[in-house]
Chains A and B, each alone.
Chain A
Amino acid sequence: MASIDTGGGDSGHKKSRGVKKAKKLSTRVDMTPMVDLGFLLITFFVFTATMSSPTTMDLNMPKDIKDKKDQTEAKESGVLSIMLGKGDQVYYYEGKLEVGAGVNNFKQTTFKGIRDVIINKKKEVMGKHVHDATCDKIQQKAKEKGDPDWKDACLDRDFVVIIKPDKDATYKNTVDILDEMTINQVKIYAMVKIIDDEYKLIQATEQNNGIK
């Protein structure tokens, strides 16, 4: 393949005198350089190809509301506050923050553990659900949208997750926790500024645990 066939030549075999035959030339072309180039290009494109196209996550933020009476209120029993701290640590508490003698609902976990916390809290809230008039409206809306589980549409109505990243949290942490909301289908969640008390508590916990 690699060598060009020069055709017959003068090896052995005597040709009859006087009769001139046209020299038989091979029609085959040497393909090696072409193939070389082909593979060079393949390698180049394999390396430059960006296969994974980026995806996006929608984020809707509320307008800053200063007036307290315009703010949305959440039922204390259905609230889960999640705080993000240094070193991929997650802190959370249910309902109101209670830290004092004998009572402490401020807990620490990681991104792996927070999923179970969210799932359990969601189950708990859904279990305590009491049907009332506003529920009918929510169910009706879901029914119109064509949701097959419209009867359950109201169950997690009171479940609210409040996300509070602190100064040391990374952007990845923020996206991860928002992703967790999507994964566990938390319908109501809000990202708010962390309160000073909580931040101090996190810093104290971080110091105790030696997280830098």
Chain B
Amino acid sequence: MTPFVDIAFLILSFFIMATKFKPQEPVEITTPGSVLTQNLPASNAVMVLVDSANRVFFTVLSEKDPTVYDQLIQSLNSSRGLNLSKEEMANYKKTYSVGVPFSGLKQLLNTPAEQQKNLNQPGIPVMDSANNELVWWISEAKKAFAGQALHFLIKGDAKSKYPTFEAVIDALKRNEEFKYNLVTSLEDLPKGSDLDKANKKAAAKK
């Protein structure tokens, strides 16, 4: 039995090392497939989530520098006149994503981070171009990340509708941002397509 146990523990240690825990997202999102193999930037990024019911959520990914969160919420608080208390602003750091209009932000940040997922978040309003609140979030994020590289990730559910995606793009465009990363899951490349041929050529050259 000893070899058997040895193997079992080997597998166990492999899985322990290979596992990366997913951060808690308020909504489940199934990303569409794509043949691209580029990896996702995990830090210094702003992620906009769009769920299957076309609700928009805003997330800042900054593992290295948590002060960004404080800067962002403080700046947003003063520029939009949100009247958030110090405790509420401190809670923003623990909040993974925000999916409420500015009017509901106080209530969201009043809720402890663990209970926020029970809260029914209606999504950030984006569809009305005169009142696209995502524009403000992105502009504050840009300010908070000033001087650092910043990626814009859009993670949309496969079932979400195009107009919402267009509105998200519009919010980014209004902040003079034109390069985005769409989060996708990996899909097989169809054989015999032009890209397949080009890849094979490049591989043969090496």
Which residues of A are in contact with B by a Cβ distance under 8 Å? Answer: 1, 31, 34-35, 38-39, 41-42, 45-46, 48-64, 84, 115, 119, 122, 148-149, 165-176, 178-179, 182-185, 193
Contacts and interface: CB of A to CB of B under 8 A. Distances in A.
A31 B164 CA distance: 57
B183 A58 contact: no
Contacts of B176: 63
B158 A62 contact: no
7 contacts: A35-B5, A38-B8, A56-B183, A61-B173, A170-B162, A172-B158, A183-B193
B86 interface: no
B1 A54 contact: no
B195 interface: yes
B12 A45 contact: yes
A165 B166 CA distance: 10
Contact of B8 (A35, A119, A183): A35
Contact of A59 (B5, B9, B12, B179): B179
Given A39-B8, A176-B32, A182-B36, A166 B15 contact: no
B113 interface: no
Interface string B8-47: 1101100110111110000000011111111111000000
A183 B205 CA distance: 20
A121 B194 CA distance: 13
A42 B173 contact: no
A62 B182 CA distance: 16
Nearest to A42: B12
B1 A31 contact: yes
Given A48-B21, A166-B162, A171 B193 contact: no
Contact of B162 (A46, A174, A182, A183): A174
B12 A41 contact: yes
Interface of B, helix, strand, loop or mixed by DSSP: mixed
Interface stretch (B63-71, B94-102, B134-142, B184-192): B184-192
Interface of B: 1, 5, 8-9, 11-12, 15-16, 18-22, 31-41, 50, 153-154, 156-166, 169, 172-173, 176, 178-187, 189-190, 193-196, 198, 201, 205
Nearest to B156: A171
Contacts of B169: 61
B182 A185 contact: no
Contact of B198 (A55, A174, A185): A185
Given A57-B36, A171-B32, A179-B35, 19 more contacts: A1-B1, A38-B9, A41-B16, A46-B15, A56-B41, A56-B181, A58-B182, A59-B181, A59-B182, A60-B178, A115-B193, A148-B205, A165-B162, A169-B162, A170-B162, A175-B32, A179-B34, A179-B184, A183-B196
Nearest to A59: B180
B19 A61 contact: no
Given A42-B12, A170-B159, A52 B185 contact: yes
Contacts of B37: 55
A161 to B, nearest CB: 13
Contacts of A64: 173
B18 A61 contact: no
A183 B191 CA distance: 10
Contact of A42 (B11, B159, B160): B11
Nearest to A46: B15
Contacts of B41: 56
